[in-house]
Structure 1
């Protein structure tokens, strides 16, 4: 893991297309902005994890559905 320190109005570049901007610091919260191509999906980690769980459940449902179709 790379750990960097930034102040308000500073940024971090990831590759040549993704920029993380520090917009503000309020108490224990840091507001960041992410500039990235529309083809790059950006999610909060808890949303990303929920999407992964839903995808796994959908895959399991699809497998079960296909098995049921084979039996008929």
Structure 2
């Protein structure tokens, strides 16, 4: 991990095409502006973790034993 100190208006450039600019600092909060190509996905950390957890849940095996309760359902035509 790389830890850098930046002031308002200063930038960090990653791989020639991603630019982080410090826009504002208020107390413990830092506001960043991010310039990147549209094909690069950018997520807040907590949102990314929620997506990963959701994907893991959807990929987990389904317990088919609970499907027996659907046998009693009647359909209407």
Q: Identify the TM-score tier after normalising by the shorter chain.
A: 0.7 to 0.9
Q: Which runs of 5+ in 1 are unaligned?
A: 68-72
The structure with more helix, counted as a fraction of residues? 1
> TM-score, normalising length from structure 1?
0.80
Q: Distance in 2 between matches of 1:9 and 1:58?
A: 42
**Counterpart residue number, 1:14:** 14
Q: Which runs of 5+ in 2 are unaligned?
A: 65-77
Cα-Cα RMSD: 1.8
Q: How many residues align?
A: 65
Structure whose CA Rg is larger: 2
> TM-score, normalising length from structure 2?
0.76
